[in-house]
Structure 1
Amino acid sequence: MMYTLYLERDSFLHSMDPRVKIIGSFLGVVALILFNSPYLLLAIFLGLILILNFLGKIQYREIFKALKPLMPIVLIAMVIWPFILKPWYFGLLIGVGYGIRLLSVALLTLGLIMTTSQKDLVLGFIKMGMPYEIGLTLTIALRYIPTLYMLTQTIMDAQKSRALELEKGNFLQRAKNTVPVLIPLIVASIKTAHELSIALESRAFGASKRRTFLHSIKMETKDYISLGVLISLFFMAVYARYYLKVGYIKLF
């Protein structure tokens, strides 16, 4: 079974050219790396949520549901930093900032997938000069992230119904309990990859070097304006970081 994060809505973000969203997501990730202040990163994270809600018509519960699988990684990032930096509360503050940064980067990627269909995403990469094979591979990789996550949840629920206790016991015991989940997941992943290869071969993928497309994309006035705004915001972020010294806390 295939799952997707794409949500079909009639919104500004959905109608935007995928190239603008790809460039904007990349610039956003680079800009987030420049800062480590938890206060500024929190403001950016909340701003991204509002943008997805108002410009993409993505509901808050849908956003947090997509971010839910990342919460264990975020918590680990928060817990590690107090052991690295002293005093511990300073390390915790920095850890919170890095956790929020991770969520913001994920939100940029998820926002791109939520508001862009697979065919438009592939076309966006190709129009930017990326070879079709690489663009398709990257898109398939992004496409299968929610599929593997939901498949993992399904396997875990099935094993729990068979009295497998995944949360009980010490670390070694819980690691051992994941084996009945990992083996079916690996088998299902191999089967899915095999089915995908058959589907590509049945469509004569790679038979011709020159490709034609049923659908096409074209930049409009609003796309050029949006791209200009995104590039301007990026350079403002660079200026604020390196010239105004805003949003960065010296760690050592």
Structure 2
Amino acid sequence: MNTILETIISWFLVLFGVSFPIYLLFKVIGIRGFENLTKYVEGKTFFHRLNPLTKLILALYILITASQSIWIIGLADGLILLPFFYKLKRLKLVLAFSLSQVFGMTWGFAVFTSPSVLQNIFGKNLVTIWKFPSYFAYLGYVPDLTIQALFYGLQVAMRIWGMLLFSLMILLTTTVSEFTRSLSKFKFPQSLIFSIIIAVISIPRIFEIAEMAYKLQLMRGISYNKPRIVKPFYKALALFYSILPTIIFLFKKARISGISAETRAFGVYKSRTFIEDYEFSLKDKILLISGGIVTIIDLYFVVTGVIPAIPYHLLNAFR
């Protein structure tokens, strides 16, 4: 009886660990939500007023500190950024996206990370909270789910969380023309700038077209008069069917963009001129200087061992 109960609980944990992030992504956020998370929002917030170059350099600072330093840096970056999404009316979407990313990565690393890796980080005394049946090894799962494994997965998720939120903030508060000017200031090749700008423009359009194709499949009755228990599978099938129309749209859009670039003599000159140029305000200078100082100090502490880097255990709590 205990074996049957353990098997049921194990499969529940596996299915919940896989399905919960997917539920958040496609049910709570949805295709329209992803479009709203990647589309520019008009406003006069703190990040709107920053120089686009400042935002790109700050993104580099966050990338360096969050990936190389203690995981708490990534957590702090994310917590600082969250209130700014409220003014953009995107806080609920960002929270759902954050929960999906953090939960999915924490669970994924917890059940697939080798015990030998965890022992190198936390020591040999691992605290087991659940044992999976032996045949779960064929699925790649480790035999024991430990507190240290969950904590290790959380560390990895936190290192990425802050970077993801700041990337979303840049997309929401920076126009395409601002992107172009910023990359030109960095002396990026015009062909590379063009590719990046096309990607920035296309991301929200991809979600818009995918949602339209998905709703058309539903309007055609793909899940009509089907038992309620199997309707989610038909909706997933409708989402799958929306991939091909979206790809066709992208190819057509690429052709139109190419024609547009040719008619405007793109690439004839090595550099471009702009009607309006952005200057660095006092706010930009303070952020760049303070961010650079913090990054240098953080890297120094990491190199000298004052701040633990990867891997990291919290005050030997699980040794």
Which of the numbers 303, 307, 318 marks the counterpart of 1:245? 307
Is the 8 Å Cα contact of residues 74 and 161 (structure 2) preserved in structure 1? no
- What is the aligned partner in structure 2 of residue 188 from structure 1? 249
Deviations along 1:77-114, whole A, 9 cap, x unmatched?
A: 22221221445232222223323333322111111122
Deviations along 1:92-140, whole A, 9 cap, x unmatched?
A: 2222332333332211111112222211111111112212222232132
Is the 8 Å Cα contact of residues 218 and 238 (structure 2) preserved in structure 1? no
Structure 1 unaligned regions, length at least 5: none
Greater Cα radius of gyration, structure 1 or 2:
2
Aligned length in residues: 240
TM-score computed with the length of structure 2 as normaliser: 0.64
| Alpha-carbon separation, structure 2, partners of 1:191 and 1:63 | 34
| Alpha-carbon separation, structure 2, partners of 1:233 and 1:141 | 32
* DSSP-derived class of the 1:206 partner: coil
* DSSP-derived class of the 2:259 partner: helix
Q: Does 1:136 align with 2:198?
A: no
**Segment of structure 1 superposing worse, 186-195 or 141-150:** 141-150
The 1:73/1:226 distance shift into structure 2, 3 A limit, reads closer
Shift of 1:249: 4.2
| Alpha-carbon separation, structure 1, partners of 2:241 and 2:297 | 50
| Alpha-carbon separation, structure 1, partners of 2:97 and 2:45 | 26
1:82-161 matches, cutoff 5 A = 82-83=110-111, 84-86=113-115, 87=128, 88=145, 89-161=147-219
* DSSP-derived class of the 1:106 partner: helix
**Segment of structure 1 superposing worse, 144-153 or 20-29:** 144-153
**RMSD between aligned residues:** 3.0
Structure 2 unaligned regions, length at least 5: 1-34, 116-127, 129-144, 224-230, 314-319
1:133 partner amino acid: S
The 1:46/1:247 distance shift into structure 2, 3 A limit, reads farther
- What is the aligned partner in structure 2 of residue 10 from structure 1? 44
Shift of 1:201: 2.1
| Percent of matched pairs sharing the same residue | 20
| Alpha-carbon separation, structure 2, partners of 1:160 and 1:102 | 35
| Alpha-carbon separation, structure 2, partners of 1:156 and 1:36 | 42
Which of the numbers 73, 87, 90 marks the counterpart of 1:62? 90
2:232 partner amino acid: E
* DSSP-derived class of the 1:16 partner: coil
